[in-house]
Amino acid sequence: MWYAVYFAAHLLLYAAVLRRLPAFRREDVIFKYHALSAVAVTLSVAAGWLLGWGIDADTAVAVVGLHGLYSVTFLELWSLAEGGYSLQILEGLAGAERRGEPADVEALRAIGAAKQGHRLAGLASIGLVRYEGSRVGLTGAGRLVASAFALLAWLTNVKDGV
Which pTM value belongs to this model? 0.59
* Spatial distance between the Cα atoms of 92 and 84, rounded to a whole number of angstroms: 12
Give the Å distances, CA to CA, from 140 to 88, 125, 127, 145, 154: 34, 14, 9, 9, 21
- Residue pair 14/23 in contact (Cβ under 8 Å)? The answer is no
pLDDT tens by residue, 118-159: 888 888 888 999 998 889 999 999 999 899 888 888 888 877
The residue among 160 and 73 whose pLDDT is bigger is 73
What pLDDT is attached to residue 82? 66
Rounded mean pLDDT of the chain?
A: 87
DSSP character for 26? Answer: S
Q: Give mean pLDDT, residues 57-84.
A: 85
What pLDDT is attached to residue 34? 93
- Residue pair 3/48 in contact (Cβ under 8 Å)? The answer is no
What pLDDT is attached to residue 91? 85
pLDDT tens by residue, 77-88: 887 776 667 778
What pLDDT is attached to residue 98? 93
Of the candidates 33, 143, 35, the residue with the CA atom closest to the CA atom of residue 25? 33
H or E stretch at 106:
helix 105-125
What pLDDT is attached to residue 114? 83
